[in-house]
């Protein structure tokens, strides 16, 4: 379903103690909103986030998971474990996981299918490097990522997913994509989903933009029809998150 969304990807930040201190400050600023808010914390801080968010409608997300329920997979975390402690969303296929941990579309595909099997909402990420953009291949690249990540995913499950266009060159740089670039990437996600599942599905999925979103540029991104919200890295670690939420509320 299409939802106005603001999500935070804390990455490898916010140990449990800091998490509690931060959420104590942040929560009064965001708890009344009717937006779809998701806080994606590192595994060891998830329980603290769950406790702090009790009684609110804010969702708790993880940043990764493995594609098996249990077994001899040293160091991995399964969807069963995430569900049990109150996680509802999981970021999958973030470019940092692809770059540093060798995740491929095939692996992400397995994870998406497994997350859906357990009723977790996959937040599937895609986005091109500067080189691919420079070569004029950004759209084809996004298209292929989405196609491969969604192999074997049923139509009724696709609309449960959230997709995020995160051009690698815009992540952590402070220089976000322009309005046109963000729109183009998000539209390409919808176009690919349309070619696989039809326009009703593609019009109904939530598509976010991520890459240096903050309260200074959110006004240019959120009015765009094809973009339902933002996935915030850096700005999700400060009170700027609350300012971005307020800006998202301004646009229907
Ligand atoms: P920044 O907002 O720090 O650019 O990070 C974006 C991101 O990677 C969200 O997943």
From the list 94, 96, 103, 183, the catalytic residue is 94
What span, in angstroms and rounded, lies between the C-alpha atoms of 32 and 202? Answer: 30
Active site (annotated) includes residue 249:
no
Location of structure tokens 């801080």: 45
What span, in angstroms and rounded, lies between the C-alpha atoms of 84 and 86? Answer: 6
173 Cα nearest atom in ligand 1: 4
> 55, 147, 160, 76: which is closest to 117 by C-alpha?
160
From the list 128, 166, 183, 188, the catalytic residue is 166
Ligand 1, from 234, 237, 240: best to mutate by most atoms within 8 Å of Cβ? 234
Ligand 1, from 6, 11, 171, 173: best to mutate by most atoms within 8 Å of Cβ? 171
- Enumerate domains of the chain plus CATH numbers: 5-249 (3.20.20.70)
| pLDDT for the residue numbered 1 | 84
> 101, 78, 94, 84: which is closest to 7 by C-alpha?
94
109-152 tens-digit pLDDT: 999 999 999 999 999 999 999 999 999 999 999 999 999 999 99
Active site (annotated) includes residue 94:
yes
Report which protein residue has its CA nearest ligand 1's atom 1. Answer: 233
Going from the first residue of the chain to its last (252 residues), give the mean pLDDT of each consecutive group of 10, the final group possibly shorter: 96 98 98 96 98 97 98 98 98 98 98 98 98 98 98 97 98 93 98 98 98 97 96 98 98 88
Ligand 1 cavity residues, CB under 6 Å: 9, 94, 166, 171-172, 210-213, 231-235
């Amino acid at each position: 379903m299409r939802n106005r969304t603001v999500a935070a990807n804390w990455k490898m930040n916010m140990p449990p103690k800091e998490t509690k201190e931060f959420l104590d400050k942040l929560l009064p600023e965001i708890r009344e909103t009717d937006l779809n808010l998701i806080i994606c914390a590192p595994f060891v801080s998830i329980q603290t986030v769950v406790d702090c968010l009790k009684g609110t409608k804010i969702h708790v997300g993880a940043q990764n998971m493995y594609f098996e329920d249990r077994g001899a997979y040293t160091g991995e975390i399964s969807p069963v474990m995430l569900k049990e402690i109150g996680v509802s969303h999981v970021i999958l296929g973030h470019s940092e996981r692809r770059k540093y941990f060798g995740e491929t579309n095939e692996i992400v595909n397995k994870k998406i299918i497994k997350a859906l099997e357990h009723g977790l909402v996959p937040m599937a990420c895609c986005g091109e490097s500067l080189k691919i953009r420079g070569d004029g291949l950004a759209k084809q690249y996004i298209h292929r990522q989405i196609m491969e990540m969604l192999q074997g995913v049923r139509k009724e499950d696709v609309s449960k997913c959230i997709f995020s266009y995160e051009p690698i060159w815009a992540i952590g740089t402070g220089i976000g994509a322009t309005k046109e670039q963000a729109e183009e990437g998000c539209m390409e996600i919808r176009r690919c989903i349309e070619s696989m599942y039809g326009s009703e599905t593609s019009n109904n999925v939530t598509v976010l933009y991520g890459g240096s979103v903050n309260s200074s540029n959110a006004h240019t991104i959120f009015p765009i029809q094809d973009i339902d919200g933002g996935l915030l890295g850096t700005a999700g670690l400060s009170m700027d998150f609350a300012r971005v939420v307020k800006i998202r509320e301004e646009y229907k």
